[in-house]
Amino acid sequence: MRNIALVCDCIERFWFFRRFYTSQPDYSLTLITNDFVVRLLCAWHKIPCIQLSQNLPTPEYAQYADSVANSSEITVGGYQQDFACKVYSSYLGQVPHRLAQFDVFLIWNGQQLLDKSIIDVFPDKCVYMELSNLPNKIFVDKLGVNAMSSLFFHPEVLDKEDSVEDEFHHQWVGEYEQYKMAPPPQSKVSKFQLYCRAINMLVTSCSSIAGIKNLRYRMKKITPEPVDFSQFHLKNADLDAAFVFCPLQVSSDTQLLIHSDFNNKDIIREAMTIAQNKGLALYVKFHPAERNLAEVKEIVEMSQAQGFTLVANNTNDLLRQCREVVVNNSTVGLEAMIYGKPTHVFGRALYKSFDNERLKKYIHRYLVSGIDYFADHPVDINTVIHSVEGQ
């Protein structure tokens, strides 16, 4: 029997990992968390759980500044560097002796401090998962996700996969278009989840002086609601025109902050050059979850000065009707390739080197099918584990 650890950093992930417990008699599964509420949920559902404390920092915690620099807690979570170093060193001090019995660690994304501490101690035992943003498929890799994945460094592995018939792929694209017409599965966070997050933040933060100090910092950093774009009177543009489409990412997106040397304004400038050189209009669309009002205002002023058009059209309509697409490294670039659009990718993205054959093999051979992150059906852990054994 294999000992599998499911590394769970939040309540949202708990509901996903809980599905692993319904039909897997051949595995010993334990949930590893740093979340007080998750531990309570595990107790309620009788799920084996190990909670690591963040309040046992080592005296030399400051030496871990480089290790925590790109963690999601610092980039978007509101952790101060000093506090992040203490938390990380606390986990690092517990991982070797409390988690040594596990054969495999299933880790979502890998950017959280909890994830990083386990990865640094047991790098060869980790399997990484991430949303694919394609229906009923998730990304699984033995090295990491996005621009840290083995696929990013070695996209040629796709060339060894069995070919995918065009007819089969075209049928899938038709089904994918129907899927995109439905409301997105990422529903808003429920009030219950928000309450759980607040309870956990208070419990974990108030259990130490360092946590209380950082809580004050986090309260100042709490992001507001997404920008109300109606105040800028954005309109649906003419899709019969010849245009280049440039979808923007959330300015605080870790994909943009960690895996790109370009910000949103940089990408617009690159898109302007491409559009001008080809005699095409440029349509730019804000990400609907953008919270940085100051940046939005700067881009609105930029559009007025430079002459590109800020649009409110549906993203799928823009993708279908545009001539070319310019992206940083968002999955909209992958969607553009699915629609057969010439795509300029400026950030580090695993699909950057894809041609049509690699694209088809990535979708139908590399991604793990049959797992819908937002559904509630059981997850076959064999499918996840076996998908990386040949990588």
Please give the C-alpha separations between residue 314 and each of 234, 247, 249, 289, in angstroms, as whole numbers: 12, 11, 15, 14
* b/e per residue 182-217 (b: at least 16 CB within 10 A): eeeeeeeeeeeeeebbeebbeebbeebebbeebbee
**How many C-beta neighbours within 10 Å does residue 223 have?**
12
Whether 205 contacts 212, CB under 8 Å: yes
Q: What is the mean pLDDT of residues 370-380?
A: 89
Strands (E), 286-350: 309-310, 324-327, 343-345
pLDDT of 358 reads: 97
pLDDT of 10 reads: 85
Q: What is the mean pLDDT of residues 221-230?
A: 71
pLDDT of 124 reads: 94
- Residue 131, classified by CB atoms within 10 Å of its CB into exposed (0-12), middle (13-18) or buried (19+), is middle
Question: Which position has the higher pLDDT, 170 or 23?
Answer: 170
pLDDT at residue 223 above 70? Answer: no
Question: Of 12-21, 182-191, 196-205, 220-229, which one has max mean pLDDT?
Answer: 12-21
pLDDT at residue 387 above 70? Answer: yes
3-state secondary structure of 296: helix
pLDDT of 205 reads: 57
pTM: 0.87
pLDDT of 182 reads: 74
Whether 122 contacts 114, CB under 8 Å: no
Euclidean distance between CA atoms 351 and 208, whole angstroms: 43
Question: Which position has the higher pLDDT, 254 or 175?
Answer: 175
pLDDT of 362 reads: 97
User: Residue 187 — very low, low, confident or very high, per pLDDT cuts 50/70/90?
Assistant: very low
Percent of the chain at pLDDT exceeding 70:
87
pLDDT of 360 reads: 97
pLDDT of 194 reads: 57
pLDDT digits (tens, 9 = 90+) for 51-103: 999 888 988 999 999 999 989 888 876 788 998 999 999 999 999 999 999 99
Closest CA to 328 of 242, 269, 243, 241: 269
Closest CA to 367 of 176, 129, 190, 173: 129
pLDDT digits (tens, 9 = 90+) for 25-40: 778 899 999 988 899 9
Euclidean distance between CA atoms 209 and 216, whole angstroms: 11
Tokens of 48: 């084996």
Instruction: Quote the DSSP letter at residue 312.
Output: -
pLDDT of 308 reads: 95
Lowest mean pLDDT among 49-63, 84-98, 173-187, 353-367: 173-187
pLDDT of 198 reads: 62
Question: Which position has the higher pLDDT, 193 or 359?
Answer: 359
pLDDT of 289 reads: 86
pLDDT of 390 reads: 63
Length of the chain: 391
* Residue-averaged pLDDT of the chain: 88
pLDDT of 26 reads: 76
Euclidean distance between CA atoms 134 and 137, whole angstroms: 6
Euclidean distance between CA atoms 139 and 151, whole angstroms: 10
User: Residue 196 — very low, low, confident or very high, per pLDDT cuts 50/70/90?
Assistant: low
Q: What is the mean pLDDT of residues 245-257?
A: 88
Euclidean distance between CA atoms 186 and 21, whole angstroms: 23
**How many C-beta neighbours within 10 Å does residue 311 have?**
24
Q: What is the mean pLDDT of residues 137-155?
A: 94
pLDDT of 29 reads: 92
pLDDT at residue 259 above 70? Answer: yes
Which amino acid is residue 93, in one-letter code? G
pLDDT at residue 385 above 50? Answer: yes
**Beta-bridge mates of residue 108:** 129
Euclidean distance between CA atoms 49 and 116, whole angstroms: 19
- Residue 82 backbone dihedrals phi, psi, to 5 degrees: -60, -45
pLDDT digits (tens, 9 = 90+) for 118-132: 999 999 999 999 999
Euclidean distance between CA atoms 21 and 27, whole angstroms: 9
**How many C-beta neighbours within 10 Å does residue 282 have?**
23
pLDDT of 11 reads: 85
Question: Which position has the higher pLDDT, 228 or 281?
Answer: 281
Q: What is the mean pLDDT of residues 109-117?
A: 94
Q: What is the mean pLDDT of residues 314-320?
A: 93
pLDDT digits (tens, 9 = 90+) for 157-171: 999 999 999 999 999
Euclidean distance between CA atoms 268 and 245, whole angstroms: 10
Strands (E), 200-359: 243-247, 281-285, 309-310, 324-327, 343-345
pLDDT at residue 291 above 90? Answer: no
